[in-house]
Amino acid sequence: MNNDKILELQRVATDIRLGAVEAVYSAKSGHPGGALSSADIMACLYFSELNVNPQNPQDPKRDRFVLSKGHSCPALYAALALKGYFDRSELKRFRHVGSFAQGHPDMKSMKGVDMSAGSLGQGFSVACGMALAAKMDGKDYRTYAIIGDGESQEGQIWEATMFAAHYNLDNLCLIIDNNGLQIDGKVKDVMNTMPYASKFKAFGWNVISIDGHNIEEILNAFDEAKRAKGKPTVIIAKTIKGKGVSFMENQAGWHGKAPNEEQYNIALSELTEYKNSLGGNK
């Protein structure tokens, strides 16, 4: 795989992390942990995988994306801003009165958002509906969705899993952001949802397990998903909550709180230093 492409996507992922941290800090509230863990996946989706165009956000031929774990939207918003859907300065208005950058994605107010999210589990079900609609209409767009491992405690996730396999939705790709933590602690302690691979295989899915911070593995998984026929694909992405910010990594406490000024400056310094180490445009 082209090393320059990998480096560029690593830089994009770091910019997404920078934007997510800035948004949460500016709002003095939000969910940084899961946003940071999903940043590499977001970078690969919006800057390699998805057929989308910010100049024509409602193009009926576009691929669809649903962030079912909507509280991780700072990463989505940062990706959309970098892609050109709106100016990056809007990230500083995250969760502010009058801003379209709400605490959870709102398809009615923000360009590039295909489905509103908030109540966990529902976004994935809508993604299944989008994929089935494409099949029924004879369209070739693909649908992607990200869920959290804590979110997979919702029964609706497994109803949708059964639905997608029953209708042979091979145009659907689900990504599990498997960072192992939720607001109350370790997922396995709150309500163990493992093992994902054997469960999804039992439902009739194509299963791919990857390192969710390895760009090459993410891209290869997307390619494999497109080749799978007759069944939907789930990518089980092992990630680190708070990835890229030392004091946030693997800390459940950073699921849903904002950094103070000192912590914000440390986070910016660490992420900027890492981006600079990658070379290229700074």
Greater confidence (102 vs 1) lies with 102
The domain in which residue 21 lies consists of: 3-277
Return the CATH number at 261.
3.40.50.970
Residue 9 forms part of a structural domain: yes
Q: Which whole number is the average pLDDT over 98-112? A: 94
Query: Residue 118's pLDDT is what?
Result: 86
How large a percentage of the chain has pLDDT more than 90? Answer: 96
CA distance 47 to 136: 28
The phi, psi pair for 36, rounded to 5°, reads: -70, -35
Query: Residue 281's pLDDT is what?
Result: 57
Residue 282 forms part of a structural domain: no
Handedness of CA 125, 185, 37, 201 (dihedral sign): negative
Residue 232 forms part of a structural domain: yes
What is the average pLDDT score of the chain? Answer: 96
For the chain, counts of helices (H) and of strands (E) = 10, 7
Q: Which whole number is the average pLDDT over 26-54? A: 98
Query: Residue 240's pLDDT is what?
Result: 98
Handedness of CA 73, 76, 81, 85 (dihedral sign): negative
Q: Which whole number is the average pLDDT over 85-97? A: 95
pLDDT higher than 50, residue 282: no
Residue 43 forms part of a structural domain: yes
- 45: Cβ contacts below 8 Å, ≥ 6 apart: 65, 79, 144
Residue 162 forms part of a structural domain: yes
The number of distinct structural domains making up the chain is: 1
pLDDT band for position 2 (50/70/90)? confident
Residue 90 forms part of a structural domain: yes
